[in-house]
Chain A
Amino acid sequence: MLLRLNFDDATPLYSQIAAAINRSIRDGEIKEGENLPTARELAKVLDVNMHTVLRAYSELADSGVIDMRRGRGSVVREGASSKTSVLLLVARLVEEGRRQGFSATELGALVEKEMS
């Protein structure tokens, strides 16, 4: 599987890794039901601390993209590819919206306007 990372200092490393995995799932690089590499494996190739990767994995697990099971590793959940893209964009929109002082209602209105 191919992971593309955008190194910018503003975003924490674990979010960048999680984003890269989301992107790979979206691009079909990582298939649903597939096992992610172990945190140790990925940490080694990315040259980062294993806990950084584990944090990225638990963020992915929290957003319902992967299942982390003892003994089975981290598995990409069914339907993850259709979900991640939107979730990721919404998360970005909210983050950027907050930074620019938008309220939830205002953002919602913008989305509705865009979709109509």
Chain B
Amino acid sequence: MRSRSMRWWIAEVSVPLGLVAVLVALPFAFWDRLPESLARHWDLSGVPNGWSPRTGFVVIIAVLGFLIWSALISAGLRGMASKALTSVVYFVLGILVGATALTVWANVDLRSGEVAQEVGFLPVMAMILGGVFFGALGWFLSAAESGFGTETVGDQVLTMQLDPDESAVWLGRAHSVVLTLAAGILAGTGVVLHDAVGAVLLVVGVLMFWFSAARVSVSATGVTIGASPWGWPAKHVALSEISWAESLEVEPLAYGGWGLRFRGLRENKTAALIVRKGPALRLVRADKADIVVTVDSPDGGVALLNTLLGVRPKAATNEGEE
């Protein structure tokens, strides 16, 4: 195994494990002052409505915190580290620490959790802000690729030979393991929390999973682009709308992040489906916004499209318009 930098040990091991330790230490610090039965859940108006045994509560948060950190570290060890994943893990751990602190505060010095403090709007906001703070901290600490940068476009127009009696189709896909993992962490935490914050995490997790994969197909009728492993929802772009196609390397943050992205207001308008950094396909359209979609080995699709469109190999450089 490669030797790891000091920064890696801090960002991926020390700080997140520290957060897990704080998570577990919080209830232990007040162990004798906490009731046997803890209020651990509050309804939307802030009145407690869910209780757990003291020990069970600690076990659950310890296991949850440790699982979340394991996901981060296993991604890192497989070479799939990213600022985004570190940031998401920090965010979730931050939320958990906040939630645990709130729980301890609401229960401390009580005989029974049934008369626990009401938890209002402000502490919950503080908890979420705390999560955002830690998310940002994770982003800055992580030494992984940021995803900022410029995109590179190949300088030749790709085409291919197609015999007169031959037809061709092309199918491509892209998939992000990191996004899938991050989505799993968010959704899983959402399910465990089982409250309003959890519901938000669950929705974000599902959305993230939906945009962790892309499907592209090219045929004589045009291009179909779909999100999710099932290629739904999909958008069909008729061949007649497309001027030419090219392959490029994209950086997610050049598009403002992952998912469905729109860039440029008047000029160079682009709609993009971004699931990861790396190879992508661009459809240049005369009257409408260009379309960019991340897809593995896009050259075959580009060549087929340009051939179907009758783009000549040398019409390359600036205009590209036939």
Is A7 in contact with B217, judged by CB distance below 8 angstroms? no
Q: Let me know if A98 is at the binding interface, CB within 8 A.
A: no
Is B172 in contact with A1, judged by CB distance below 8 angstroms? yes
Q: With both chains docked as a complex, state the minimum distance between the C-beta of A114 and any C-beta of chain B, in angstroms.
A: 26
Q: Which residues of A contact B166 (CB under 8 A)?
A: 4-7
Is A47 in contact with B219, judged by CB distance below 8 angstroms? yes
Using an 8 Å CB-CB cutoff, how does the interface string of B209-240 with A read, 1 for contact, 0 for none? 00000010111010010000001000000000
Q: With both chains docked as a complex, state the minimum distance between the C-beta of A83 and any C-beta of chain B, in angstroms.
A: 23
Is B300 in contact with A8, judged by CB distance below 8 angstroms? no
Q: Let me know if B170 is at the binding interface, CB within 8 A.
A: yes
Q: With both chains docked as a complex, state the minimum distance between the C-beta of B168 and any C-beta of chain A, in angstroms.
A: 5
**Secondary structure of the B contact surface, majority rule:** strand
6 A-B interface contacts by CB (under 8 A) = A4-B168, A6-B163, A7-B167, A37-B173, A45-B219, A47-B221
Interface size on A, residues (CB 8 A): 16
* Minimal Cβ-Cβ distance residue in B for A45: B217
* Minimal Cβ-Cβ distance residue in A for B304: A2
Q: With both chains docked as a complex, state the minimum distance between the C-beta of B218 and any C-beta of chain A, in angstroms.
A: 8
Q: Which residues of A contact B215 (CB under 8 A)?
A: 41
Complex alpha-carbon distance, A5 and B166, angstroms: 6
Complex alpha-carbon distance, A45 and B218, angstroms: 7
Q: Let me know if A46 is at the binding interface, CB within 8 A.
A: yes
Q: Let me know if A29 is at the binding interface, CB within 8 A.
A: yes
Q: Which of A10-57 contact B (CB under 8 A)?
A: 29, 37, 41-42, 44-47
Q: Which residues of A contact B172 (CB under 8 A)?
A: 1
Is B168 in contact with A41, judged by CB distance below 8 angstroms? no
Is B171 in contact with A1, judged by CB distance below 8 angstroms? yes
Q: Which residues of A contact B224 (CB under 8 A)?
A: 44-45
Q: Which residues of A contact B168 (CB under 8 A)?
A: 2-5
Q: Which residues of A contact B170 (CB under 8 A)?
A: 1-3
* Minimal Cβ-Cβ distance residue in A for B224: A45
Is B217 in contact with A29, judged by CB distance below 8 angstroms? no
Interface size on B, residues (CB 8 A): 22
Is A42 in contact with B171, judged by CB distance below 8 angstroms? yes
Q: With both chains docked as a complex, state the minimum distance between the C-beta of A71 and any C-beta of chain B, in angstroms.
A: 13
Is A8 in contact with B217, judged by CB distance below 8 angstroms? no
The 8 closest A-B pairs by CB, nearest first: A45-B217, A2-B300, A4-B168, A2-B170, A37-B171, A45-B169, A45-B219, A5-B167
Q: Which residues of A contact B221 (CB under 8 A)?
A: 47
Q: With both chains docked as a complex, state the minimum distance between the C-beta of B178 and any C-beta of chain A, in angstroms.
A: 20
Q: Which residues of A contact B163 (CB under 8 A)?
A: 6
Q: Which of B155-193 contact A (CB under 8 A)?
A: 162-163, 165-173
* Minimal Cβ-Cβ distance residue in B for A2: B300
Q: Which of B41-99 contact A (CB under 8 A)?
A: none
* Minimal Cβ-Cβ distance residue in B for A4: B168
Q: Which residues of B contact A5 (CB under 8 A)?
A: 166-169
Q: Which residues of A contact B304 (CB under 8 A)?
A: 2
Complex alpha-carbon distance, A98 and B131, angstroms: 73
Q: Which residues of B contact A4 (CB under 8 A)?
A: 162, 166-168
Given pairs A2-B304, A5-B167, A37-B173, 18 additional interface contacts (CB within 8 A): A2-B169, A3-B170, A4-B166, A4-B167, A5-B166, A5-B169, A6-B163, A6-B165, A6-B166, A7-B165, A7-B166, A41-B215, A42-B171, A44-B217, A45-B169, A45-B171, A45-B217, A46-B219
